[in-house]
Copies of this chain bind each other. A is one copy, B any other.
Amino acid sequence: MMTHPAPTQASRNNRTMKAAVFAEPGRIVLEEKPIPRVGPRDALLRVTTTTICGTDVHILKGEYPVARGLTIGHEPVGVIAELGEAVSGYEVGQRVLAGAITPCGQCHPCLDGHQAQCGGKAMGGWRLGNTIDGCQAEYVLIPDAMANLAPIPDHLTDEQVLMCPDIMSTGFGGAESGRIRIGDTVAVFAQGPIGLCATVGAKLMGATRIFAVDALPERLAMARSLGADVTINYKERDPVQAILEATDGRGVDVAIEALGTQATFESCLRVLKPGGVLSSLGVYSGKLTLPLDAFAAGLGDHKIITTLCPGGKERMRRLMNVLASTRADLRPLVTHRFTLDRIEEAYDLFASQRDGVLKVAITP
């Protein structure tokens, strides 16, 4: 599978790599950094494809704080370059990906099923490009490799699986946390990459009527092609009113929030039936208020479930199952391609949502 030999550890230790690092608010720049050294439970990946996430844009803008000099990026597809001495079951040269969330699998929360909250700190499982160096680089260290390296079936390309580490896992997680059942009516507010994947996930779980809400016509068109039954451009119609009318006032069984604003969160509650689930994926900033009328003053048996991107290799295996089965094809989400050298350009495009961009593929 590898066409050129992996560099030896010795040679790598003397070498540097290119990496996109957070310099200061407003600046993510490509720098030379040492290739990381591999600890006993780690693996080193040579990154073959990665991408930029909305969260990375928050980091770029200084809205989400990370250490200066940190390599950004949490969606790695690559090839194993080196394995820690305590890692078994893999081999150098193997083609793998890892989730954005890299749980250890062995701490109390992980063993209790809360892998995204690994270690017991909020978002503790999100390490790549957050608390340790990420994968917008030529190489990335994957911690707790045995829990996280997911081999990629040969017949799936890098781009086909590029949504697995975060977008697909998060979006599907929104549908799963909503406990969608066959015959459910679902609303998905915002049809960015994560919202689109939530729409796909809702359909995969058996929702039979899916309302997709956004303001960009091309995103609504994409939503429809991926499974939405009704699309609503909120600049043209009040989505709350439209959904309540279309459901004869009944509301939806599950409302998925995929943006992280007061408006979308509140709209979710307003279209939700009593007893329904508000499945929240967005990253909120500022202030978030529960409208008590829509919340039935706390007496509506509403459930608000937040979900951080599920990670770990079993999750990744299941997501690749979906792609291998052709039940869903997420390739249309990759709208633009850049080499790592041009990543600053890619950030500029992605952050501005120009040219119908959904996701960009970055190839070191």
Residues of A in contact with B (beta carbons under 8 Å apart) = 40-41, 84-86, 103-117, 120-124, 126, 144, 146-147, 172, 175-176, 181-185, 201, 204-206, 208-209, 229, 250, 260, 273-275, 280-290, 292, 295-308, 312-315, 317-319, 321-322, 324-325, 327
Contacts and interface: CB of A to CB of B under 8 A. Distances in A.
A301 B116 contact: yes
A117 B303 CA distance: 13
A72 B226 CA distance: 45
A100 to B, nearest CB: 11
Contact of A322 (B182, B289, B314): B182
Contact of A296 (B122, B185, B297, B319): B122
Nearest to A303: B305
Given A86-B40, A124-B274, A206-B206, A306 B302 contact: yes
Contact of A117 (B275, B285, B288): B275
Nearest to A185: B321
Contacts of A312: 111
Contact of A122 (B111, B116, B274): B274
Contacts of A124: 274
A225 B277 CA distance: 34
Contacts of A209: 321, 325
A201 B274 CA distance: 24
A73 B318 CA distance: 36
A123 B306 contact: no
